[in-house]
């Protein structure tokens, strides 16, 4: 009886392993396609607003009346800000900011959600980014589809001995947008991370 029990257990174990291996092969063969990833690493670097790294920027939006944002879709407080690129290592070339995905981005509107947890914070408000021509930037899209205008780096020669570098200024706007109903008065705070793309 003991011999029969051992033999049976071993056979069962082998069967389970065999089934698992067979299932794995079937799963592997059932692939529907392949995803390929392509990219490019650029040697281009620029100073952004005078800084070689950690070029953080704070945009101060004006205080506006809640009555200016009384209906969903109302807009107010457009404020210009800019990325000033200097000492770019190579020219010619182009540059534009890519606003990276994050929890602050509303994937439906493409705008920035504001903090709403805590006392004294505004509600039913988002922050929209615009190009210099006031066309909207869709933060919910990928790097090539956000509709950010591309800047061309202009050559500049200076120094002794003369050295040629590139420079450009990217001007954008930010504004309040009423979202989901009439805006409720309070402080507005939001952030977004960006990466400068050089081509």
pLDDT digits (tens, 9 = 90+) for 52-67: 888 899 999 999 999 9
Q: Which region, left, alpha or beta, applies to residue 47 given φ > 0 means left and ψ of -120 to 50 means alpha?
A: beta
Rounded Cα distance, 27 and 44, in Å: 44
The pLDDT value recorded for residue 71 is: 97
Asked which of 10-24, 31-45, 122-136, 152-166 is least confident by mean pLDDT, the reply is 10-24
pLDDT tens digits along 122-138: 999 999 999 999 999 99
Mention every residue, 6+ apart, whose C-beta is less than 8 A from residue 163.
157
Q: pTM for this one? A: 0.78
pLDDT of residue 69: 98
Closest listed residue to residue 148, CA positions, set 157, 135, 161: 135
Partnered with residue 196 across adjacent β-strands are: 97
Query: Does residue 187 surpass a pLDDT of 90?
Result: yes
In the predicted model, is pLDDT for residue 87 greater than 50? Answer: yes
| Sign, CA torsion 97/98/103/105 | positive
């Amino acid at each position: 009886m003991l011999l029969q029990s051992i033999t049976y257990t071993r056979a069962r174990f082998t069967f389970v392993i065999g089934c698992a291996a067979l299932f794995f092969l079937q799963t592997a063969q059932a692939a529907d396609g392949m995803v390929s990833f392509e990219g490019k690493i650029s040697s281009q670097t620029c100073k952004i607003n005078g800084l070689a790294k950690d070029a953080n920027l704070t945009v101060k939006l004006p205080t506006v009346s809640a009555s200016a944002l009384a209906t969903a879709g109302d807009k107010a407080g457009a404020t210009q800000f800019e990325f000033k690129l200097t000492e770019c290592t190579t020219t010619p070339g182009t540059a534009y900011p890519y606003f990276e995905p994050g929890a602050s981005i509303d994937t439906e509107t493409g705008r920035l959600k504001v903090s709403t947890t805590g006392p004294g914070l505004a509600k039913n408000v988002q922050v929209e980014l615009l190009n210099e021509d006031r066309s909207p930037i869709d933060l919910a899209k990928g790097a090539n589809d956000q509709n950010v205008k591309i800047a061309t780096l202009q050559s500049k020669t200076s120094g002794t001995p003369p050295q040629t570098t590139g420079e450009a200024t990217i001007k954008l706007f930010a504004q309040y947008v009423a979202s989901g109903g009439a805006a409720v008065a309070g402080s507005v705070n939001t952030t977004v991370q960006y990466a400068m793309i050089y081509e």
